[in-house]
Chains A and B, each alone.
Chain A
């Protein structure tokens, strides 16, 4: 742990840190803190896990084949009315 940045501050930077959106100064403070603080390293691991797990939800076929067919049929109907 370094006293320069508290854990409480680090969790506020966590998402921006993962985004590589922090100004250089803050980024260095976070990196120095993370080297010494297991708790914050684990906090970031959890954040990364959230991002990764969220990414697996994209494979969910919420609409389904039936939903897509419904959609295409509605668009076909709209197009033929228009012609």
Chain B
């Protein structure tokens, strides 16, 4: 059973409707490229993954059974192709791909040390948010992109789909084949690392 919202799209793709294909390619390819880039460093290679994914979609659409939403199915193809390509191209797995040495969300020295009064509470608390125009400045944006790019692939894929593209947790779990708990852990680590990297740009009087 194909979900009602996908029925017309799937039928059009099966019939080789070029307009519908073009509309989907226009609507989804940036998101697909962002997801591919979570696994594949090289920009041209990520674009090839997107192209290969669309070809796989056209090849496989007759077999699409609608157990997942069409978008989930398409993006799952992207994630699988990108992972396979990354595995092929990477002779040595960088430490970051393994999750790295996990840094805590906040530098430990910013909390009161154990054994003292108020241990575990802020010694050096975060400052208030900076003005909106600085939050939206090109420099902050560049640092944000960099912080996301520095994440291990799994975390990067989750924060990209959840926070950049605004997907639901449920859709992300289905697409990346994660349990709900794993999705939450990856999102927590990703958001925490990005916040930490971005803090000087987020805080009043920072940088």
Contact = CB atoms under 8 A, between A and B. Distances in A.
Interface string B16-27: 101001100110
A64 to B, nearest CB: 9
B128 A54 contact: no
Contact of A75 (B25, B111, B125, B198): B25
Interface in A38-64: 38-40, 42-43, 45-47, 49-51, 53-58, 60-63
B121 A6 contact: yes
Contacts of A9: 120
7 contacts: A21-B184, A38-B125, A42-B129, A53-B144, A54-B148, A63-B50, A67-B47
Interface residues of B, number: 54
B105 A53 contact: no
A42 B18 CA distance: 50
Contacts of A8: 106, 111, 120-121
A1 B117 CA distance: 12
A1 B120 CA distance: 11
Contacts, number: 144
Interface in B86-140: 105-106, 111, 118-122, 125-129, 135-136, 140
Nearest to A75: B54
A62 B55 contact: no
Contacts of A63: 29-30, 33, 47, 50
Q: Which of the four size classes fits the interface of chain A?
A: 35 or more
B119 A6 contact: yes
B203 interface: yes
Given A6-B120, A8-B121, A75-B21, 4 more contacts: A7-B125, A21-B184, A62-B30, A62-B33
Contacts of A61: 30
B193 to A, nearest CB: 10
B51 A42 contact: no
A39 B111 CA distance: 11
